[in-house]
Each structure stands twice: as C-alpha cells, then as structure tokens.
Structure 1
Amino acid sequence: MEMLTINNVWMMVCTALVFFMHLGFSFLEIGLTRQKNTINILFKNVFIICVGLLLYCLVGFNLMYPGFEEGAAGFFGFAGFGLDSPLTAEGGLDLAYNEGYTYWTDFLFQGMFAATAATIVSGAVAERIKLSAFMIFTIIYVGVIYPIVGSWQWGGGFLSTFQIGDAEGFYDFAGSTLVHSVGGWAALIAVYLLGSRIGKFSSDGKPQAIPGHNIPLAAAGVLILWLGWFGFNGGSVLSADAAGTSLTLVTTSLAAAAGGVVAFLVSTLMYKNYDLTMFLNGILGGLVGITAGADQMSPTDAVLIGAIAGAVIVFGVALIDKLKLDDPVGAIAVHLICGIWGTLAVGIFGAKAGFDQFLVQGVGVLAVGGFCLITAFIIIFVLKKTVGIRVSEKEEIDGLDGHEHGMDAYPDFRLNQH
C-alpha cells in the first residue's frame, strides 16, 4: 500500500505538470503571433483542455483502452460510454487498479495527453481559422481519432504486437508518434487546406517574416513546456521507480539542451544571426525527439537524438516555407518531423536498437500517418465545404479578437496592431 501511494502521488504530480504544459503552449502561440489575435488563441487553448477532458471521460478513455479480446485485430474497440467505478466486492474503492496507481489517476494523466493533439494544430492554423470550425474539428479529432490511434499501441492494439524478425512490437514510450505526430499530421492538412496568412508570401512566392508580438512570452512558454515534459515523460514510466524516472528525466533534459544548441548553431551558420525563435523551437524539437525512447537511451544517445532534432528543425522550417505552407509557430517541424525522427531513433539508438526494430518503427509511423492524414483531411475538407474554415479578409486584417470575441487583449496598448 505504501508503494501504491508513492507511485500514485508521483503520477498525480506528473499529471499536474502535463496540465501546466497547456499554459506553455498558450504562451508560445501568443508570443509568436500578432497581438490582435491573442484572445482568439487563448480561447482555443482553454476550449481544448476543457472539452478534451470531457470528451476523454465520455468516450476517449474507453476508445483508447477498450480491452481488446485475445485474437482481435486490434484496430478498433470500445468499452462503453463514461468512466467505470472500480469497486471492491465490499463496495469500497478498488485502489489496486494496477500495480502503480488508481483508475482515476490513470484517466486524468491520459486525459491531459489527449488535449495536446489539438493544441499542436491550434498553433499551426493561428490567425486565420474560424473559431467555430476549429472547435468542431477539436471535438472530432480529440474525441475519436486520437484515442483510436492510442489504442493501437498503449491500448494493446495491433501495433503493440506487430513484429518483424526479432523486434517485439512498435515502441513509443511517451508519444513522439502517438501524441505529437497525431497533432502534426492534422496540422499539415489544416495548413494546406486553410492557406497562408495575408502577406506571408510575396507575389514571387518568397516567404516574408510576420514577427510575433511578444518573444519574451514565447520564451517563457518554451521553458514551461520543458518543465512540463518532466511530467510528460517522467509520468510515462507509470510509477515512481527511482531508476526509470531519473534516467528518463536526464535523457529528456539532455535532448532538449542539445536540440536548442544545435538549432541555434545551424541557423546562425545559415542565416548569419542568432535567432532566438529557432533556439526555442530546437529545444522543443529535442524534447519531441526523445519522447519515443526516453527510457531506453543513454545520456550520449539522448544528446545525439536531440542534436539531430535541432538540425532537423532548421531545415524543416525552411522546407515548410519552400512548400508555401504557413505555420506561424513551427508546429509541423517540431511535432511532426521531429516526432517521426524520434520514433525512428528508437530503432537506431538505445536498448531497442536494431534493423528489425527500425522497420517496425517505420511501419508504426506509416500506419499512424496514413490514418491521421485521411481522417484529418475528411474532417477539415467537409468543414471547408460546409461551415467554412477561414475568416474573411477584413477579419484577418483587423484581427480575430475584435471580430470573434469583441475584446482586446491589450486595450490600452495598440501599437503595432498589424
């Protein structure tokens, strides 16, 4: 009972840290966009966490952990609406839900992850998406698509048992693919169908900088996210195991640091200036990259994974611009490209390294990517043809805060409004 309590308390602390990440995402998005859209971004992020938790309670948790029967295909299962009440035969609360924590802790920890997928999309589509369309998308994607993908691995589905040679199934410790790329694939589709912001690309197709209005806030957001990742990865040990949690936090931090340093060095060599935003996104890229195998890596492995992720960020952002896709916060490069890299890295570095494992990791990336691309396209395309997904030109130029919310985040400070 004592270890159950210790494990459960640790899991609840990690749950609080993951919850805190939503403030980090909000700050990062606000800081890298213009002040006239601040209320809109805050509204979306608050909506995501509130509705995400309710949806995860209603359907998501039992879609993600349906209890696949032996011999089932492991693609789709549903254990029913709402949460169970795990009671003992005597009618008391069953604290021995599993070896590490209670049923309720499990729900809350996993529920915090669920909302992250839509938060990733929020940053990529900032400053020009209709709020109503985004809310409908969030309800479907967080309520249904994310938990189905999660069930394939964490819920005991087909990816968890998929084997090639000696590889013992797909491995994604804390969600490089199952969380980050799920959001990243949807962000890619959304940005493509939505189009770029007015003024992002010149008449000859060259990308134009649209500076964020509060870089200090963006920096605070990244540091909050780094702190929250201690819960994101540390909690994924699913216990307070001393060796497992301490190694995970070390690899997480080293990858973040290496990602930031390499991103700023590569961007400095390419663009001849010390770009703080690239530094910040490099940190996030390192964090996303290590997430798939944080418990499997040595410190050296973690530094290498983070360093490669940092370089990937710089080239990834340049690639997104070259494709004429407008991602104001770099979400696609950070969460999709580095999510793919981190997932494949499990087969290259650490305890799971091996060619067979690399192939299994690749199959997992393709399966999740294909499903998310198709479902995200269907959802957003239908929204585009029905309610519409983009605000009017006047609304975009004036700012979404005034038109969609009737308020200003900085009513006494209107400089650089556009």
Structure 2
Amino acid sequence: MDTLFLMNSLWVMLGAILVIFMLGGFILLEAGSTRMKNAGHIAGKTIFTFGLASLVFWAIGYGFIFGSNGNFLVGLSDFFYSGYQVEDMGLATSVFFVFQLAFAGISITIALGGFAERAKLSVYLVFTVLFSALIYPVIAHWIWGGGWLAEHGKQDFAGSTVVHLTGAMAAFAATILLKPRIGKYNKDGSANNIQGHNQVFTALGVLILWIGWFGFNAGSTVAVDDGFFGFVALNTNLAAGAGAVSALIISWMVLGKSDIPTMLNGALAGLVAITASCAFVDTWAAVVIGFIAGILVFYSARFFEKRKIDDPIYALSVHGVAGVWGTLSTGFFATPELATVGLPGLFYGGGFTQLGVQFMGVAASGAYAFVVSFVILAIAKKLMNGLRVSEEEEIMGLDISEHGSYGYPELFVTKDQNVGS
C-alpha cells in the first residue's frame, strides 16, 4: 500500500471529522439563536437526528448517490454499505463513505433548523428518515454521483447546492407548514424580535463552523499530492471574512448599529457561497463572492420576515439565498485554468453556457427539495395529528414538554423547590 494512498485516506478522514464536528457548531448556533427553554431539546435532537441519518445513509443513501447500475436520476447498488475496498479511488473507500455521510448529516441539520422551537420530536424522526433516503441522496446523485446535472457539467465543488440549498428548501417547506412561533407576529402583521438567549454561544458556534468548513471544502479535494487543498482553504477563509465584514457594514449603514447576529450570519453566508466555487475561482473572486453573500443575507432575512416566514436560525437566508448565489457565482467567475468541471464563467469568455447550467441546477434541485419536503410534511401533518406541539407545550418550552427536563434547570426552579439545595 503506497504512501500517497495512506496520506489521501488520512486527509479525507480528517476532513470527515471536521465536518462531523460542525454539528457542535450547529448546536451552539441554533441553541444560542433561540430561547433557553428550548436549548436542551435543540442540542439533543441534533445528536439524535445525526445518528438516525447515519443509519439511513448506510442503508440507502450512499447507494442512491454513488451506486453503480443506476441511471440519470439515482444509483442502484451499494445499499447497506459493506465497507470493503471495491475499487481504487486513491484512498480507502470506507473513508470516502464516512466523508460523504458527514455531508448528509449537515444537510439534514440545516433542514431541521426550520422546525426550531415548535415541532414535535416525532416529526423530526420521520422527516430525518425520509429526507436522508429520498431527498438529499437524489440531488447528490444528480450532481456528484454521475446523474443528469453532472452530465451537463454542473459545478458544485463541495455543496452550495447539494448540501446547503437542499437543506434550506426543506426548512422552507417546514416553516410554511408549521407557521410562525407564538408571539412572533402581531395582529397588524408587524414582527417582534424574538432574540436568541446567548450571542456568545452563537459566535462560538460560527467559529466552530468556520473551522469545520476547511474539512468541508478543502477536504473535498480528496487528495494531498498537489497541495491544491491549501488554495481551496485560502478561498474559503477569504470569503468568510468578506461576508462578515460586508454584513457588519450593511447593518451599520441601514440600522445605525453594527448588529452582531447579522455579522455572524454574514460569515456563514460567505462560507456557504464559496462552497460551490472554492476550487474554480481566483482569490479576488472569492472575496467578491463572500462580500456579496454578506449583503444578501442581511436583506433576505428582512425580506422573509416581512412575509411572515418565521426562520429562527436564518436557514433560508444563510443556506438558501447564499447557496443560490454561490452556485451561480461559478457561472461568472470560474477560470479556464480551474474549471476542471464544466466551462469557464461569463467573465472569462465562457459566455452564458455555464451560468445557464448553474441556474438549471439551482432551479431543479431547489424545486425537488421543496416539493418533496412539503409533500412529506403535509402527509405527516395529517397522519400524526399535526406537526406542531400544543400552544401550552410551546409556551413552557420543548425541553420540559418533549424531554421532561430543562437544559438550564437552575433557571427554571419552581416556587416549591429549595433554590439553595
């Protein structure tokens, strides 16, 4: 077994670990962005749903994405993946499986952000199974598994569409069917700002995600021999920084204050946007892509709020809108030297061809994720006597109503308890 094979396997395994650790970032981000009465629930369901998604991905998802003997829509082998080395990929195929599993886990975590603070735990369970079997793997096959969008040269290096837009459109379907949280909107339609309980948690969550993104993007090179992963990591970091700066600036200009949640979302938007293009664009373009993403996330969050789309962790703006922009950006900025998939972008003499392919990929993938998610949740709403906890349970918080204990028990002591005990 040669040294390069071992080094590639080790590098991709490290990437998988970083991506899985991003779940810790999502726990802090989502818990910090919501109220403390739901913090324990958010942390627990993130771990539970990743475990469940892992089993579904092993049984069905991986085969639908990468299985042979398939067609332009789905793969049809490698179900209940055995882990055996079946072909030379330049690294251990079991490591590649774990890496891909991590991506599937991130996508369902994004999707479930649209359920925050009001969905039943049983709904999380059902949707995780069906999303991990029927939604994410299909889109991933279209783009990464040799499906019809891959045949058209769709560029999505690490998943602005596959992971982020797919999860965001599922979250969008959930927010529509679940409706806004109690107290979010007044009778006149004006919105109340339901602040998250811990901005420090949110900031730490963003930092963990930022670090994990090096596994997400740079790890997607799945090789170390030419050192190209360093260039991908550089583009990733520049876009994140540009997104944080532009979001801070635009919030300061519009609101008169430098809004911290907006700045944090700007960093994430820059990361989401560069995920598709990190291997296809020059460094200056990475800065532009991230900078525009930071501005987009500010205005899109305000847009959705005015239309009574209650999105507590801004999944639609951060992962949806930024995912669309990031996917389209390669159609403008992909260089002839770096466009190993598809064609150069508009600004490099490639015309509108690649931009058209990118738009087609966004439209098809986004529509599929939204429609199938909406149908699944609409059926579940009928069969499960609603998707949402009762008004009483929502007011008391999902920590106690769904799990019987609070994430912050010292802060919810009843009058008959001895506080000093």
TM range (shorter): over 0.9
Superposed counterparts of 1:105-184, under 5 Å: 105-162=95-152, 169-184=153-168
Q: In the alignment, what sits opposite 1:98?
A: 89
Match of 1:409 among 404, 407, 410: 407
Distance 2:105 2:49 in 1: 6
Distance 1:249 1:116 in 2: 19
Show structure 2 runs of 5+ residues with no match: 336-343, 347-351, 414-421
Q: In the alignment, what sits opposite 1:301?
A: 285
Match of 2:222 among 231, 235, 238: 238
Distance 1:313 1:114 in 2: 24
Q: 1:76: Cα distance to partner?
A: 2.3
Whether the aligned pair in 1 keeps the contact of 2:117 and 2:394 (CA below 8 Å) is yes
Distance 1:68 1:157 in 2: 12
Whether the aligned pair in 1 keeps the contact of 2:83 and 2:94 (CA below 8 Å) is no
* Mapped pair 1:318 → 2:308: no
* Mapped pair 1:341 → 2:339: no
Superposed counterparts of 1:72-87, under 5 Å: 72=71, 74-86=72-84
Aligned amino acid, residue 384 of structure 1: K
For residues 351-395 of structure 1, the C-alpha deviation after alignment (integer angstroms, 9 at most, x for no partner) is 231310000000111110121121011101011112110111000
The 1:275/1:80 distance shift into structure 2, 3 A limit, reads: same
Distance 1:211 1:282 in 2: 18
Q: 1:20: Cα distance to partner?
A: 0.6
The 1:68/1:264 distance shift into structure 2, 3 A limit, reads: farther
Whether the aligned pair in 2 keeps the contact of 1:68 and 1:157 (CA below 8 Å) is no
Q: 1:68: Cα distance to partner?
A: 4.8
Whether the aligned pair in 1 keeps the contact of 2:273 and 2:290 (CA below 8 Å) is yes
Q: 1:80: Cα distance to partner?
A: 4.6
3-state SS in 2 of match to 1:203: coil
For residues 161-205 of structure 1, the C-alpha deviation after alignment (integer angstroms, 9 at most, x for no partner) is 12xxxxxx1110000001100001011111011100011111111
Distance 1:67 1:345 in 2: 31
Whether the aligned pair in 1 keeps the contact of 2:69 and 2:77 (CA below 8 Å) is no
Show structure 1 runs of 5+ residues with no match: 88-93, 163-168
Q: 1:84: Cα distance to partner?
A: 3.3
What's the TM-score once normalised by structure 2's chain length? 0.92
Q: In the alignment, what sits opposite 1:50?
A: 51
Distance 1:329 1:159 in 2: 30
Whether the aligned pair in 2 keeps the contact of 1:226 and 1:287 (CA below 8 Å) is yes
Aligned amino acid, residue 47 of structure 1: F
Q: 1:97: Cα distance to partner?
A: 2.9
Q: In the alignment, what sits opposite 1:15?
A: 16
Match of 2:272 among 288, 305, 308: 288
Distance 1:142 1:199 in 2: 32
| Number of residue-to-residue matches in the alignment | 398
Q: In the alignment, what sits opposite 1:392?
A: 390
Aligned amino acid, residue 357 of structure 2: V
The 1:68/1:181 distance shift into structure 2, 3 A limit, reads: farther
Q: In the alignment, what sits opposite 2:5?
A: 4
Distance 2:260 2:363 in 1: 33
